[in-house]
Amino acid sequence: MSSILKVSSNPHVRSKDTTARIMQYVVIALLPAAAFGVYNFGIHALLLILTTVATTVLAEYIYTRCMKKKSSIGDFSAVVTGLLLALNLPPMAPLWIGVIGGLFAIIVVKMLFGGLGQNFMNPALGARCFLLISFTSIMTNFDCDAYTGATPLAVIKSGEGSVALTDMIIGRTAGTIGETSMIALLAGAVFLLVMKVIDLRVPASYILSFAVFVLIFGGRGIDGTYLLSELAGGGLMLGAFFMATDYVTRPITKNGQYLFGIFLGVMTGIFRLFGPSAEGVSYAIILGNLLVPLIEQVTRPAAFGKRAVRKGGKQA
């Protein structure tokens, strides 16, 4: 035999999963919500989505070029960031908002910290909060052709007027491009669950703990309509299934993921019920992101065989 054999450490086979494929699945899962957003709010929403995604991808490409690194846009994570950010923008926001947000997300939150896997905060959410603070009036103006006035959550919070629960679940309400349709978001979430991209640990503990918090502190007792409105309204579904589950910025340990979810639920409850705004998901998640290293530290699993050292066994 003439050729030289390849030698490497075990294992010699690998699973079919790749980072790019996972990111592509997330993009696919976000499409129903994005499509509904365009249908609901009109063509400007589509332009905003395209602008934001183009910005994030280009920003990452140019950044890696300037830093003389290999381009990393092939992993599709910049597409996910752009899409998520766009779905978090008001439908009639000017296109430059998408550009600034996209640049902030990729350059400041992601690449300056070392790129994919190194950021400590979800880039899309970091950018959204940056925009909320900097361009508050634009970012909180949800008026558009189809809807004028307050978002359902703001209506509930003010206690004046009423909301139609069916509209909230379908998504025929004012809000950001991608957050309004509970059905579209759940369809995407089910896809991610089936493809085993995400599991229910973070979303379920997040949503459940938030529901419990609202039942206790909402001041309306056990009111199913109110509870469902809180769940369907605002960014909760989008946040719980697509942003709190972001691998990079949620704990890697199982118990940590439950803890993280509960923390998010409680924080979202506090922000929504006691804060000045009717929303709270974004801030809750980025606050949670900051606690991840601590959570991982305290929830490190006990190694196999170290939980119950049997009588007569040696302690390691």
Partner 1 sequence: MAKLTFHGGVHPWDGKALSKDKPMKAIVPQGEMVYPLSQHIGAPAVPVVKKGDRVLTGQKIAEAGGFVSAPIYATVSGTVKAIEPRRVVTGDMVNAIIIDNDRLFEEVSYTPNDPEALDKKEIVELIKEAGVVGMGGAGFPTHVKLSPKEPEKIEYVIANCAECEPYLTSDYRRMLEEPEKLVEGLKIILRLFDNAQGILAIEDNKPDCIALLGGLVENEERITVKALKTKYPQGAERQIIYATTGREINSSMLPADAGCVVDNVDTIVAVYHAVKEGRPLMNRIVTVTGDAVRDPRNFYVRIGMNYRDLIEEAGGFKSEPEKVVSGGPMMGFALFDLDVPTTKTASALLCMTRDEVSMMEPGPCINCGRCVEACPGRVVPRRLAVIAEHHDAEAFVANDGMECCECGCCSYVCPAKRQLTQSIKSMRKTVLANRKKQG
| Nearer Cβ to partner 1 (19/141) | 19
Backbone dihedral angles phi then psi of residue 179, each to the nearest 5 degrees:
-95, -15
**x/- map, 42-81, partner 1, by CB under 8 A:** ------------------------------x--x-x----
Nearer to partner 1 by C-beta: 12 or 68?
A: 12
Judged by CB under 8 A, the stretch of 93-101, 104-112, 158-166, 297-305 that binds partner 1 is 297-305
Q: Does 293 bind partner 1 (CB under 8 A)?
A: no
Is 253 a residue that touches partner 1 (CB under 8 A)? Answer: yes
Within 93-152, the residues that bind partner 1 by CB under 8 A are 115-118
- Binding footprint of partner 1, residue count (CB under 8 A): 50
Q: What tokens were used for 36?
A: 């509904």
Of the candidate residues 143, 194, 220, 305, the single one contacting partner 1 (CB under 8 A): 305
Look-up of token digits 């846009």: 73
- Burial class for 60, CB neighbours closer than 10 Å (0-12, 13-18, 19+): buried
Shortest approach of partner 1 to residue 114 CB, angstroms? Answer: 8
* Amino acid type, 201: R
Q: How far is CA 152 from CA 36, 51, 214, 223, 235, in A?
A: 17, 27, 16, 16, 12
CA distance 125 to 289: 10
Smallest Cα–Cα separation from 275: which of 48, 266, 169, 98? 266
Cβ distance to partner 1 smaller for residue 72 or 268: 72
Q: Which of 11, 221, 224, 276 binds partner 1 (CB under 8 A)?
A: 11
* Least CB distance to partner 1 at residue 67 (A): 14
**Which one of 21, 65, 69, 220 is in contact with partner 1 (CB under 8 A)?**
21
Kindly report the number of other CB atoms within 10 A of residue 39's CB atom.
Answer: 14
- C-alpha distance from residue 118 to each of 1, 109, 253, 297 (Å): 45, 10, 17, 17
Looking at 54-62, 126-134, 150-158, 294-302, which segment touches partner 1 (CB under 8 A)?
Answer: 294-302
206 near partner 1, judged by CB under 8 A: no
CB of 250 to partner 1, least distance (A): 8
Residue with structure tokens 């050292």? Answer: 309
Q: Kindly state the smallest distance separating residue 275's Cβ from partner 1, in Å.
A: 29
- Taking a C-beta distance cutoff of 8 angstroms, is the pair 248, 119 a contact? yes
Contact flag: residue 300 with partner 1 (CB under 8 A): yes
- Tell me the DSSP string of 71-140: --GGGSHHHHHHHHHHHTS-TT--HHHHHHHHHIIIIIIIGGGTSTTT-SS-HHHHHHHHHHHHSHHHHT
Residues that bind partner 1 (CB under 8 A): 1, 3-15, 17-19, 21-22, 72, 75, 77, 115-118, 247-250, 252-254, 296, 300-310, 312-316
